[in-house]
Amino acid sequence: METQKSIGSVPGTTASFYTIDATRIPGFEGILEQSRLLSRIPEGYHPDHFHKQLDDPEYARNRDEVYHLPDTRAMLEREAREHFENRLPGLKKTLFNKPFKPQQRKSPIKECDGYLAIVSEKHIAPLRQAVEGFFGGPCTRVGDFWYPAGGYRSWHTNNYDVHGWEMFLVDVDVPQGSYFQYIDPATGAWVKVPDKPGMINIFKVDPKNHFWHSIVSENANRWSQGFRIPDNWIERLL
Ligand SMILES: [Fe+2]
CATH number at residue 147: 2.60.120.10
d(CA 195, CA 172): 7
Domain presence at residue 58: yes
Domain presence at residue 115: yes
Low-confidence ranges of the chain (pLDDT < 50): 1-13, 94-102
Q: How far is the CA of 229 from the centre of ligand 1 (A)?
A: 14
In the prediction, which pLDDT does 51 show? 81
Backbone angles phi, psi at 94, to 5 degrees: -65, -40
Listed residues: CB within 5 A of ion ligand 1: 158
118-150 tens-digit pLDDT: 988 999 999 999 999 999 999 999 999 999 999
d(CA 152, CA 63): 7
In the prediction, which pLDDT does 53 show? 82
Q: How far is the CA of 100 from the centre of ligand 1 (A)?
A: 31
User: What's the structural domain count of the chain?
Assistant: 1
Q: How far is CA 106 from CA 13, 57, 83, 109, 166, in A?
A: 45, 29, 21, 9, 29
Domain presence at residue 180: yes
Q: How far is the CA of 129 from the centre of ligand 1 (A)?
A: 21
Burial level of 61, CB count in 10 A (0-12/13-18/19+)?
exposed
Report pTM: 0.87
Q: How far is the CA of 96 from the centre of ligand 1 (A)?
A: 32
In the prediction, which pLDDT does 90 show? 57
Residue type, 205: V
* Residue 22 lies in domain: 17-39+47-95+105-237
d(CA 159, CA 213): 11
Q: How far is the CA of 156 from the centre of ligand 1 (A)?
A: 6
133 near 157, Cβ under 8 Å? no
Domain presence at residue 7: no
Residue type, 117: A
